Structure 1
Amino acid sequence: MDIIVQLALSGLFIGGVYALISVGLTLVFGVLRVVNFAHGEYLTIAMYLTYFMFQRVGIDPFVASVAVVPLMFGLGLLTERLLIRPTLEAPHVVQVFVTFALSLFLQNLLLSLFTSDFRTVRTPYATAAFQIGPLYVSWLRVAVFVVALALAGGLAAFLKYTYVGSAIRATAQDRRSARLVGINVDRVYAVTFALGCALVGAAGILLSPLFPVNPYTGADMILISFVIVVLGGMGSIAGAVTAGLLIGLVESFTGYFAGGELKQLVYFVLFMIVLAVRPNGLFGRKGAEVMDVT
């Protein structure tokens, strides 16, 4: 019984980070209707920034977030202005090709700059743990889990209770009507895309003390993120969080009982079963036309 609880905790802890990565992806899709294939590379960039700030300057990853998150937000603004905005009126296949090409470009750029070597952030508190009965719980994993869920919850509150959040939701529902009531839709798109990049940047910061980074880290994570976004329901923040936690649990239990090589098989089978029963995902709405913050 103890091992079951330990596995559940481990799955939830990593699932919280998966959820944060996927929330940024589903936010961009829910508002801009763009599937960003370069989302994983932004995660990798954030992890590299965190690594070098820690390795060269000695800045703790959590402190580094003060610089890394705004940098990722700015990178998102630049990407939206140069690559995404010119393609918004084009067929969706054009946006797919643009973001996929950006993904390959960034991946190969990182490979040429940093090689394929793994780099690890080794914080002094990485192995610190506390005991609850027979269970040992990592302080770092608890902190990462709490921060990830707090950021996802903060995003939902931002979208629901602020003027900018209302403008984002209005644009997601009907951009033509949003323009008619005076909302600057182009600015909303820029802020939304930048928020998605900032969120995945925050996820990269949280992952950096837990996992090594190399140029292919984001490519591995983006596959999980796409599964989570579709499983939870395209455009649904609550769905992304729920599905992220679920996939974390599936990975944890499958890795222990069946071996790490079967993790993807199991959650893809779960993915197909859920979509066979609910084609729109756990929290998705038909057509995914509304940005759902519930």
Structure 2
Amino acid sequence: MDQVAVTAFFQTLVQGLLTGGLYALIGTGLSLIFGVMKIINFAHGDFLAIGMFITLALFKAFNLDPYLSLLVAAPIGFSLGYVIQRFVLARLGDRLGEGSLLATLGLGLIISNTLLLGFGAQPQSINVPYAINTFKFAGVQVSVSLLIAGLGTVLAISALNLVLYRTELGRAIRATAQNPLGAELQGVKTSNIQAIVFGVGVSFAAIAGVLLMPLLYTFPTVGENYVTKAFIVTVLGGLGNLPGAIAGGLVLGVIESLGAFYVSNNYRDAYGLIAFLLVLLLRPEGLFGKTVKRV
């Protein structure tokens, strides 16, 4: 391989890893919710859209830098998720497994239609001076916005890991995920933990929306594409497996990036779906999940 081809390969690889980091951030929220509550949140992509539209609204109203919108979008996402779990999902009781599918699908429709009424159907974007800037290192050029998004992803996931493995709240979350009844017997209020976890999952989706906004345009149903990617990430990594979700996001980003560069950009989304189907066929528990033997 000549020098140009090598540089092109590494540039494509770096862009794939940074994009995959964003996928990992989206998938981590979904995987965390499934790992603790054993439900799939079909409105996850719509919560991401909320983060994007919060960023858009603050930029238009106050010319606020999109990354500063994190200070607003993350708390709103957490509060929204907490309230939804306490006053909607918690009321399903024993029907949570099946009822959550319909409930989250309904929530997604409500959110997307509310955004449609409030912002219209036309795609919208924001223009910031650094959006067209690039960072160059060892011949590899990367968009500044994509690099910031990658760094934001690392910080968010690192903070989550610190909470999960270095705090009492984290121990309560892990106990609730492993054995809810045992956690209750040890004094853990699992209903509150579940609400916190759902809030964190939604806030991660909102954070991802903020980080994506300088890179893309948004519209009310933008979340549909990203909830699909979140499902692919969680399946690649193994449902409920947080390290697996991170790895799955990186794998998906690299597959899409290399496929788009070496095959065709027109089928970018298809490459991830092909990987998704292959994993389902060959390793249903996910690339990083554990096989459970039935006796």
Question: How far apart are residue 91 of structure 1 and its match?
Answer: 5.3
**Residue 284 of structure 1 pairs with residue 289 of structure 2:** yes
Alpha-carbon distance in 2 for matches of 1:134, 1:165:
42
Give me the whole-angstrom Cα distance separating, in 1, the residues matched to 2:142 and 2:265: 21
Count of matched residue pairs:
287
Larger displacement relative to structure 2 (248-257 or 129-138): 129-138
Report the AA paired with residue 2 of structure 1: T
Structure 1 128/261 Cα, relative in aligned 2: closer, same or farther at 3 Å? closer
Q: Secondary structure at the match of 1:110?
A: helix
TM superposition outliers: structure 1 runs of 4+ over 4 Å: none
Name the residue aligned to 1:98: 103
Given the alignment, which residue of 192, 195, 201 partners 1:196?
201
Match of 2:60 among 49, 55, 59: 55
Q: Which moved more, 1:11-20 or 1:252-261?
A: 252-261
Contact 2:89 2:96 in 1 (8 A): no
| Alignment partner, residue 221 of structure 2 | 216
The alpha-carbon deviation at position 245 of structure 1 amounts to 0.8
Of 275-284 and 48-57, deviating more is 275-284
User: Where does residue 3 of structure 2 map in the other structure?
Assistant: none
The correspondence for 1:259, drawn from 254, 257, 264, is 264
Instruction: Name the residue aligned to 1:9.
Output: 14
Query: In structure 1, the residue corresponding to 2:245 is in which secondary structure?
Result: helix
Partner Cα separation in structure 1 for residue 249 and residue 93 of structure 2? 28
Q: How does 1:160-239 map to 2 (within 5 A)?
A: 160-239=165-244
Q: Distance in 2 between matches of 1:80 and 1:92?
A: 13
Using the alignment, how far apart are the partners of 1:245 and 1:252 within structure 2?
11
CA distance 1:243–1:88, shift in 2 (3 Å): farther
**Aligned equivalent of 1:28, options 5, 24, 33:** 33
* Cα offset, 1:127, TM superposition: 1.5
Q: Residues of 2 paired with 1:266 and 1:124: CA distance?
A: 33
Question: How far apart in 2 are the matches of 1:71 and 1:153?
Answer: 21
Letter in 2 for 1:35: I
Question: Structure 2: any 5+ residue segments left out of the alignment?
Answer: 1-5
The residue matched to 1:204 in structure 2 has which SS? helix
Q: Please state how far the C-alpha of 1:227 moved relative to its aligned partner.
A: 0.7
- Give secondary structure in 1 for the equivalent of 2:217: coil
Tell me if structure 2 keeps the 8 A contact 1:13–1:144.
Answer: yes
Asked if 1:89 corresponds to 2:91, the answer is: no
Matched residues in 2 for 1:286 and 1:220: separation?
29
Contact 2:16 2:256 in 1 (8 A): yes
- Could you report, residue by residue, the CA deviation over 1:226-255 in whole angstroms, capped at 9, with x for unpaired residues? 011011001111111111011111111222
Quick one: which amino acid aligns to residue 241 of structure 1?
I
When structure 1 is superposed on structure 2, of 119-128 and 205-214 the one drifting more is 119-128
3-state SS, counterpart of residue 126 of structure 1: helix
The amino acid that maps onto 2:158 is: G
Q: Percent identity?
A: 32
2:143 to 138, 154, 157: 138
Whichever residue aligns with residue 9 of structure 1, its letter is V
| Partner-residue secondary structure (3-state), 1:214 | coil
- Code of the aligned partner of 1:117: Q
Q: Which residue does 1:77 correspond to in 2?
A: 82
Task: Give the structure-2-normalised TM-score.
Answer: 0.93
The equivalent position to 1:128 in structure 2, one of 113, 133, 149, is 133
Residues 146-188 of structure 1: CA distance to partner in whole angstroms, max 9, x if unpaired? 1102211221221111100100000111111111110011110
What is the distance in 2 between the residues matched to 1:116 and 1:74?
Answer: 26
1:156–1:237 CA contact under 8 A, matched in 2: no
SS of the residue 1:136 aligns to: strand
Q: 1:265: how far off?
A: 2.6
**Counterpart contact for 1:11–1:250, Cα < 8 Å:** yes
